């Protein structure tokens, strides 16, 4: 076999239909677009248009509210903190900057919030922007402390 003998398998590559290339092609003249009207012309995008009827997205009720100045917290679980302590990436004193440097938190956003998923066995002193009640209990049960700073101080 030589390079010039390489071919696709029979039927593997279908040639594309070239529209508007004469009557003999079977897709000449109007190129399969029908006659007249907005859709037969170029540069048309009628997404969501229902011929004058009220479109579906306008008929459905609008719900909810997105608070424009809401706080976005980076979330950390206790189980992950324990995993990083076991790996030697975190010490006994843990602040938000240490969590960032260790790679446990990618970006701080409006602060770091600790949640109680997983188990914490090490005695640690955590200082973060927010924490769930169960997370505070879990840290204290392990013999450590969890200090929650105010969100304004973190900014």
Q: What is the pTM of this model?
A: 0.55
For the chain, list the domains and their CATH numbers: 74-154 (3.100.10.10)
Report d(CA 48, CA 136) in Å as an integer: 50
In tens, the pLDDT along 26-64 reads: 999 999 999 998 888 888 878 888 888 999 999 999 999
92-127 per-position pLDDT tens digit: 888 889 888 988 889 988 999 999 998 888 888 989
């Amino acid at each position: 076999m030589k390079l010039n003998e390489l071919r696709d398998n029979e039927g593997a590559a279908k040639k594309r239909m070239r529209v508007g290339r004469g009557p003999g092609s079977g897709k000449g003249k109007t190129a399969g677009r029908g006659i007249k009207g907005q859709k037969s012309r170029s540069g048309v995008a009628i997404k969501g248009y229902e011929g004058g009827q009220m479109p579906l997205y306008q008929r459905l009720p609008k719900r909810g509210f997105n608070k424009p100045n809401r706080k976005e917290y980076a979330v950390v679980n206790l189980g992950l903190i324990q995993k990083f302590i076991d790996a030697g990436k975190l010490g006994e004193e843990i602040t938000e900057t240490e969590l960032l440097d260790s790679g446990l938190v990618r970006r701080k956003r409006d602060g770091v919030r600790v949640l109680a998923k997983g188990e914490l066995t090490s005695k640690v002193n955590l200082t973060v922007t927010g924490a769930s009640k169960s997370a505070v209990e879990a840290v204290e049960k392990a013999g450590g402390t969890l200090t929650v700073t105010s969100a304004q101080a973190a900014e």
